[in-house]
Amino acid sequence: MRRFWAAMIPGLLLAAAAPGATGPIGDLRVEIQSPAPGQVLSSAETSVQVVGGASVFGGVRYLDLFLVLDTSRSLKRTDPRDYRRAGAIGLVRSLPPRSDIQIGVVDFDRTADLLSPLTSDRDAVVGVLERLDRSGRTDLAAGIRAALDGFAMRGRQDASRVMLLFTDGKSDDDETRRAMAEARREGVAIHTLMLGTDPRGMALLGEVADGTGGSFLRVTDPARLPEAFLNLRTTGVEQVTLRVGDSAPIPAELSGGTFSGRVPVQPGENRLVATATSLDGETREHAVIIHVSGPLSVVIDAPVDGTLMTERASEITVEGQAGFFSESPSGTGALLPDGVTGVVLTVNDSPLFATTLEDGRFRGRVLLQDGENRIVATATGADGTTATAAATVSMRVPGCGELRVEAESGGKPALSLSERGVEIVVDASNSMWGRMQGRPKISVAQEILQDSLDWLPNDLRVALRVYGHQHKRELRNCEDSQLLVPFASGSRDRIRSAIGEFRPRGQTPLAYSLQQVAGDFGGFRGERAVVLVTDGIESCGGDPVAAARALQHGGRTPVHVIGFGLASGGDEDSASLRAIAQASGGRYLTARSAEELRDALTVTVGTSFRLVRGDVTVAAGALGGREPIRAPAGEYQIRIDSAPPLQLPVAIASEEHITLQLKRERGKLFHRLRRRPAAYVACHEPPGTPEAALPAAPTDGWESP
């Protein structure tokens, strides 16, 4: 070190230690104070400023420093331009801004004065230094003791206590040694700086420095004083170097016991090491581990993306984690929570929902709506960056179960389970001249009826009744209803011929026509059904609802009503026609096109069935229908309007398709259930109609009731 100063700074000489020197009065310490251990830096950072303390004179976090400055008259000769004052001011201003240093000022000549107690106000200290004068003689002991009193007043217990003693002359040796001993007992290091060449003064100042663990510098050229003040190692530390991991060391700036320097860092874990070397060559290290993050990340742990909620809930808890991603040396990654200032939640276009955030874990509650809910968590970092994560939660009512009933007879699909007779009653009143799809409604109806004769099963007995075709409307004939083709063998050909012969003319005697139907069936004992195709309501003052209900006496005969070409399913005419169907246990359907009329005929000529829960019918269908009936999950009875009627229990699950297969062989009826998953269809509890109970039948496998 002595050779270093002599080579680096011409005019600065390091004096040899005096005989009997005791060496440093403490152990070397070094500490990195910033960044803090475990700190997470943004991924944008490529380097970090490292700041810390190093000392052999006590604590490394604080430094209490007294400038003890000679103001004797002789300085006007030895330092005429007052480089002493410039050097002291330069030292104060060079101290790192972030370092925790208190500075005091003592001047001495014949006596000593405490010009400034210990303070962290560096501008105030500079102001005191600018007012220093030069008069009197030199008393080193007085200056040392005045500084010791200043330490007693405001010195900090864990601080390094250091004096920087400057003089240009000699003093009383014995009294100075006694003051030196007092300083050593108080743990105060004294660094001495001498201007001049007096051998006796050099020896005494070297002894004071060595006796307290300080250093001694002699300057022969006063112009070198500012440099000498800056280069005094006030805490007994020669140098501090910094490195990251095993990288090459980088010299740190060292001033007043505080070191600082900038080192490069990389994403992931970084081990920062500060190595201090004392004036005597002793070394110590201190290390902290910091992390340089990857990008800010946020993860929603619950609910899981794609969650389907089939039970209504107004709100749901959202949990997850947020942090800066950091990769460890082993290659594994983690989210480090430091640096995340908050997380907020939104659902679709909702306002913000707050969360609690602790150790990188967030938790909050959000409101849900029916349908799809896209939950977004937005995390914000202290560096202003943001990151988002999303999870979709769908809230919907439970899906419907589906039921299809199929029948076969003789190995072929069938529309009935027993002998079945269907009477088709066609409206031929004057209103049927109205147009549909550019054609008269009567033409559409006649065409579809002709086609139906080709796909109706051969074992289905069919009769045809027409009303309103014989008398003009003006005659108001309310008995204008005629059985054109009765139930008989070969009726298909006769119906085909009859369909093309009648023309719309008169009134709409619905009640009268339904009253005649009972006689049309005669003694027929099989399944019975009436299919009424009409575009209007009763026009003769009759009660078609009562007539339909009367058909239940003497054998169940449901009246299925097809409202043909009506404007709306919710108008007054539709309500009247629906009442006819309900009164007889039949179905009401609307048809506003040829295709819909064809579909309506298909589901009304087949044997009807109902899905019943308790005493309420929740859905109805017919053999041959193309669409299944749908109902909420539950325990039901399937009631089939065969002759005799058939009732089977069935359990329907949500989003399950059930096919009930029925077949007749050798005069016996068998059935079985087949199940498979069904596509989701939202299911709401349907309004039901009261229904009478029927005897139950067995359900497992192909069985006969």
Q: Give residue-wise pLDDT tens across range 545-586.
A: 999 888 877 567 888 888 887 765 557 788 888 899 888 888
Torsion from C-alpha of 27, 28, 33, 39, nearest 10 degrees: -100
Torsion from C-alpha of 342, 343, 346, 349, nearest 10 degrees: 50
Res 408 pLDDT > 70: yes
As a whole number of Å, the CA-based R_g of the chain is 53
Res 1 pLDDT > 60: no
What share of the chain in percent tops pLDDT 70? Answer: 87
β-bridge mates for residue 560, sequence order? 531
Residues 434/440, Cβ–Cβ less than 8 Å: yes
Cα distances from 628 to residues 147, 230, 432, in angstroms, run 102, 96, 32
CATH topology of domain 60-231: Rossmann fold (3.40.50)
Q: Was domain 296-395 assigned CATH 1.20.1640.10? A: no
Res 251 pLDDT > 50: yes
pLDDT recorded at residue 690: 57
Res 6 pLDDT > 70: no
pLDDT recorded at residue 66: 93
Res 22 pLDDT > 50: no
In which order are the strands placed within the sheet that holds 616-622?
A: 646-652, 634-640, 608-613, 616-622, 689-690
Average pLDDT over residues 78-86: 89
pLDDT recorded at residue 136: 67
* Number of other residues whose CB lies within 10 A of the CB of residue 495: 20
| pTM, 2 dp | 0.43
For the segment(s) 418-606, the CATH number from 3.40.50.2300, 1.10.760.10, 3.30.930.10, 3.40.50.410 is 3.40.50.410
What share of the chain in percent tops pLDDT 90? Answer: 27
* From 249-253, 332-336, 374-378, 531-535, the region with the lowest mean pLDDT: 332-336
pLDDT recorded at residue 296: 81
Question: Confidence class of residue 244 from pLDDT cuts 50, 70 and 90?
Answer: very high
For the segment(s) 28-56+235-292, the CATH number from 2.60.40.650, 3.30.565.10, 3.30.40.10, 1.10.3720.10 is 2.60.40.650
CA 270 to CA 35: how far, in whole Å? 11
pLDDT recorded at residue 20: 33
583-631 tens-digit pLDDT:
888 888 887 777 777 777 777 777 888 899 988 888 888 887 778 888 8
Average pLDDT, the chain: 82
Every domain of the chain with CATH number 2.60.40.650 lies at 28-56+235-292
Res 24 pLDDT > 70: no
More confident residue, 318 or 415: 318
Every domain of the chain with CATH number 3.40.50.410 lies at 60-231, 418-606
Question: Confidence class of residue 483 from pLDDT cuts 50, 70 and 90?
Answer: very high
Every domain of the chain with CATH number 2.60.40.10 lies at 296-395
pLDDT recorded at residue 213: 81
CA 290 to CA 245: how far, in whole Å? 11
Res 302 pLDDT > 50: yes
